[in-house]
Amino acid sequence: MAALYGDRDAARGADATFRWLTEEVGEVARALRTGDRENLEHEFADALAWLASLANLVEVDLATAMERYRDGCPKCGATPCVCPA
């Protein structure tokens, strides 16, 4: 994502990149309602791509960030999660 879009993301800035992310999350919503499987997969990929672009822009490494979930639910510590609903 950084190689593909890093320069464009930096030029656009975090606020506009966040706006694009929310637009893509909206497209996931629409695909859940109306889309076929291919469209659904497409929109999930685009939402994740924009989340990754935004993370790159503010220097968050998503793989490192996800270590939070490595040893079970970060709230209750269990796998599967046993937090109160």
Residue 47 in contact with a copy of itself, rule: CB under 8 A? yes
Q: How many angstroms separate the first and last alpha carbons of the chain? A: 35
- Decide: residue 84, CB within 10 A, 0-12 exposed, 13-18 middle, 19+ buried: exposed
Residue 53 in contact with a copy of itself, rule: CB under 8 A? no
Provide the binding-site residues for a copy of itself, judged by CB under 8 A: 1, 3-8, 14, 18, 21-22, 25, 28-29, 32, 40-42, 44-45, 47-49, 51, 54-55, 58, 60, 62, 64-66, 68-69, 72-73, 79-81, 85
